């Protein structure tokens, strides 16, 4: 089912953050219907650095292609600012579509962008952002590839300005709206009341970020259609990896940590080793 058709249903779509083929396959095995390829999660894991505009479009597109190779789930991908002006945003659209993306999220921050939950953001004009959205719509090969327009205006220009900007982005052709970092439950509710029923709305749950974390059912009841949990997986894995390395360093072996990790065959099951080896045999003539 295409994302556009899926979003017409009442049930909220949960898209957990992923940053490589392993996290994508684990999320898929857990039963999610869609994935969110988070720029923040890629910056955290590949660069070991914050989400402050350091990752490149090529790094993101390469990651997208590896994920599309591993799972058939629709992937919403973070396009940050489009990596430049409207023409860069068009190239981003084409590169991400080629890599297998189902939806692109583009935001109205100026370059270099930063995580929407960090202070001191700055924005391009609403007119320039509207131009980027229509440029991306013109560049897409498939009408099925959705454009998710994000505004970071709440923290910069205030709540009403964010609503006004979002209206401009809807008029420019956004398929989905993402009003970043509402600061209270009232603001979440006001966004839903203003736009719900007109186009799908995305909510972003960042543990410890500016928005009160709200569960998927409550967001659905308010009228949100998509909820992403972009960086949660890295926060969970980073904590576990920190404990793992400390334990190994202290104990000289992984035995004390054994009940908190897969063993050799456990991980092989997760990554489908025996299925892959069987598949190989079908083609190399050794199972005749
Ligand atoms: C959605 C987001 O753009 C992302 O890169 O995943 C980030 C999330 C994060 O930094 O945890 C955001 O700006 O909200």
Using the atom order of ligand 1, give the atom closest to the CA of residue 228: 1
277 in a structural domain: yes
Pocket lining: 53 vs ligand 1, CB cutoff 6 Å:
no
- 222 and 191 in one domain? yes
Q: How confident is the model at residue 285 (pLDDT cuts 50, 70, 90)?
A: confident
> What is the pLDDT at residue 204?
98
pLDDT tens for residues 127-159?
Answer: 999 999 999 999 999 999 999 999 999 999 999
Pocket lining: 116 vs ligand 1, CB cutoff 6 Å:
yes
123 in a structural domain: yes
Using the atom order of ligand 1, give the atom closest to the CA of residue 180: 14
186 in a structural domain: yes
For the chain, the domain total comes to: 2
> What is the pLDDT at residue 1?
82
| Last residue in a domain, options 199, 218, 233 | 233
Calculate mean pLDDT across residues 225-251: 98
The CATH number covering residue 91 comes to 3.20.20.60
- 197 and 151 in one domain? yes
- 190 and 275 in one domain? no
- 195 and 211 in one domain? yes
- 256 and 186 in one domain? no
pLDDT tens for residues 25-37?
Answer: 999 999 999 999 9
179 in a structural domain: yes
| Last residue in a domain, options 200, 218, 233 | 233
Q: How confident is the model at residue 117 (pLDDT cuts 50, 70, 90)?
A: very high
- 110 and 248 in one domain? no
Q: How confident is the model at residue 216 (pLDDT cuts 50, 70, 90)?
A: very high
- 196 and 249 in one domain? no
288 in a structural domain: no
- 261 and 227 in one domain? no
- 149 and 245 in one domain? no
pLDDT tens for residues 163-198?
Answer: 999 999 999 999 999 999 999 999 999 999 999 899
Structural domain that includes position 170: 3-233
Q: How confident is the model at residue 38 (pLDDT cuts 50, 70, 90)?
A: very high
> What is the pLDDT at residue 288?
61
- 270 and 242 in one domain? yes
The model's pTM is: 0.97
Flag whether pLDDT at 287 surpasses 90: no
- 72 and 16 in one domain? yes
| Last residue in a domain, options 196, 215, 233 | 233
Pocket lining: 230 vs ligand 1, CB cutoff 6 Å:
yes
Write out the chain in H/E/C secondary structure. Answer: CCHHHHHCCCCCEEEEEECCHHHHHHHHHCCCCCEEECHHHHHHHHHCCCCCCCCCHHHHHHHHHHHHHHCCCCEEEECCCCCCCHHHHHHHHHHHHHHCCCEEEEECECCCCCCCCCCCCCECCHHHHHHHHHHHHHHCCCCCCEEEEEECCHHHHCHHHHHHHHHHHHHHCCCEEEECCCCCHHHHHHHHHHHCCCCCEEEECCCCCCCCCCCHHHHHHHCCCEEEECCHHHHHHHHHHHHHHHHHHHHCCCHHHHHHCCCHHHHHHHCCHHHHHHHHHHHHCCCC
> What is the pLDDT at residue 253?
98
Using the atom order of ligand 1, give the atom closest to the CA of residue 209: 11
Flag whether pLDDT at 72 surpasses 70: yes
- 249 and 202 in one domain? no
Pocket lining: 202 vs ligand 1, CB cutoff 6 Å:
no
Pocket lining: 40 vs ligand 1, CB cutoff 6 Å:
yes
Pocket lining: 79 vs ligand 1, CB cutoff 6 Å:
no
């Amino acid at each position: 089912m295409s994302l556009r058709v899926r979003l017409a249903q009442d049930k909220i779509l949960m898209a957990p953050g992923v940053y490589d083929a392993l996290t994508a396959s684990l999320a898929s095995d857990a039963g999610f219907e869609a994935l969110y390829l988070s720029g923040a999660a890629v910056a955290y894991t590949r660069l070991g650095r914050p989400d402050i505009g350091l990752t490149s479009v090529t790094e993101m597109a390469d990651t997208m292609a590896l994920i599309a190779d591993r799972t058939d789930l629709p992937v919403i991908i973070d396009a940050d600012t489009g990596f430049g002006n409207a023409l860069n945003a068009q190239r981003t659209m084409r590169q991400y579509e080629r890599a297998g993306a189902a939806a692109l999220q583009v935001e109205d921050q100026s370059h270099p962008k930063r995580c929407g939950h960090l202070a001191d953001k700055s924005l391009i004009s609403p007119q320039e952002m509207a131009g980027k959205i229509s440029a991306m719509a013109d560049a897409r090969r498939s009408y099925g590839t959705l454009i998710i327009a994000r505004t970071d205006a709440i923290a910069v220009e205030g709540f009403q300005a964010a609503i006004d900007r979002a209206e401009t982005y809807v008029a420019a052709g956004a398929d989905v709206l993402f009003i970043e970092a509402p600061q209270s439950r009232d603001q979440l509710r006001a966004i839903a009341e203003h736009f719900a029923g007109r186009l799908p709305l995305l909510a972003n749950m960042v543990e410890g970020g500016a928005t009160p974390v709200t569960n998927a059912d409550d967001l659905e009841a308010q009228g949100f259609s998509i909820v992403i949990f972009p960086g949660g997986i890295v926060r969970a894995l980073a904590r576990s990896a920190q404990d793992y390395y400390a334990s190994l360093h202290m104990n000289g072996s992984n035995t004390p940590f054994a009940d908190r990790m897969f063993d050799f065959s456990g991980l092989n099951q997760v990554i489908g080793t025996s299925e892959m080896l069987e598949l190989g045999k079908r083609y190399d003539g050794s199972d005749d």
